[in-house]
Amino acid sequence: MIKLDGLDKSNVAVFISGKGSNLKNLIKFSFKKNSRYSINLIISNNLKAKGLNYSKIYKIKKKTIDFKNIRKAEKILIKILKKEKIDVICLAGFMRILTKKFIKDFNGIIINIHPSLLPKYKGLDTHIRCINNKEKYSGCTVHYVNAKLDSGKIIMQKKVKIYKKDKPSQLAKRILKQEHLLYPKALNKVLTSL
Ligand code: GRF
């Protein structure tokens, strides 16, 4: 925890694997007056992740870590997170499951955003599955991370209506828009309740 502007701000690392639109929104919100956090580090398992560009744009440290050997990768990660004094990890489109050992060793808050109304539709291809099952609503969920996929305690959710003619890509787009609003709100909520 560092003191900035008279407010306690937590040091956050965002883990990505791809586009990083949630990362970008978390960064943008971090500049707001009522934000309780700063983004200090971007981690990616994918050297080609587009989201890594936000490191340059916003002058945030980045590290790419090869996850082929997960034990080794997590060991390196723990060292980096300790060095950077990271309090909170936000997973944002990070396509790896962290081990129980990593969660224990990090010993801080880890949260994730998932594009469905958990506990429904864990895992991949949520939008297509929702549409095929003729669900009326989907949405997004921010939750704590445990060693089981998309299964930790729910922090906040936002419902999104599914229209009869929706294609998965259209639904994904509407949900992503809500993710961008929900994630910073949920992160701030977690930090305010500490
Ligand atoms: C989001 O839909 C998120 O919920 C899911 O992966 C996607 C990542 O998008 N876990 P982005 O990289 O933040 O644009």
| pLDDT at site 41 | 98
Give bridge partners of residue 41 from the DSSP assignment.
13, 61
Distance from the CA of 22 to the center of ligand 1, in angstroms? 6
Q: In testing the pocket of ligand 1, which one of 29, 90, 110, 113 has its CB within 8 Å of the most ligand atoms?
A: 113
Residue 174 and residue 102: Cα distance in Å, rounded? Answer: 33
Helix, strand, or coil (residue 180) = helix
Distance from the CA of 69 to the center of ligand 1, in angstroms? 24
Count Cβ atoms within 10 A of the Cβ of residue 123 and give its class: 0-12 exposed, 13-18 middle, 19 or more buried: exposed
The minimum-distance atom of ligand 1 relative to the CA of 21 is 14
For ligand 1, atom 12, the nearest C-alpha belongs to 20
| pLDDT at site 1 | 57
Q: What is the pTM of this model?
A: 0.95
Q: Is 114 a catalytic residue?
A: yes
| pLDDT at site 186 | 98
55-79 in b/e form (b: 16+ CB < 10 A) is: beeeebebbebebeebeebbeebbe
| pLDDT at site 96 | 94
Q: Which helix (H) or strand (E) holds 144?
A: strand 137-144
For ligand 1, atom 10, the nearest C-alpha belongs to 93
Tokens of 189: 């909520």
* DSSP assignments along 53-81, one per residue: HHHHHHT-EEEE---SSHHHHHHHHHHHH
| pLDDT at site 194 | 83
Is 92 touching ligand 1 by the criterion CB < 6 Å?
Answer: yes
| pLDDT at site 7 | 60
Q: Please identify which of the residues 114, 127, 143, 180 carries the catalytic annotation.
A: 114
Is 160 touching ligand 1 by the criterion CB < 6 Å?
Answer: no
| pLDDT at site 80 | 98
Give bridge partners of residue 61 from the DSSP assignment.
41
Q: In testing the pocket of ligand 1, which one of 96, 174, 176 has its CB within 8 Å of the most ligand atoms?
A: 176
Tell me the torsion sign for CA atoms 47, 176, 21, 8: negative
Distance from the CA of 114 to the center of ligand 1, in angstroms? 7
| pLDDT at site 8 | 77
| pLDDT at site 136 | 98
For every one of its 194 residues, what pLDDT tens digit does the chain have, with 9 covering 90 and above? Answer: 544 455 679 999 999 999 999 999 999 999 999 999 999 999 999 999 999 999 999 999 999 999 999 999 999 999 999 999 999 999 999 999 999 999 999 999 999 999 999 999 999 999 999 999 999 999 999 999 998 888 999 999 999 999 999 999 999 999 999 999 999 999 999 999 88
Amino acid identity of residue 38, one-letter, is S
Rg (C-alpha) for the chain, rounded Å, is 16
| pLDDT at site 6 | 55
| pLDDT at site 128 | 98
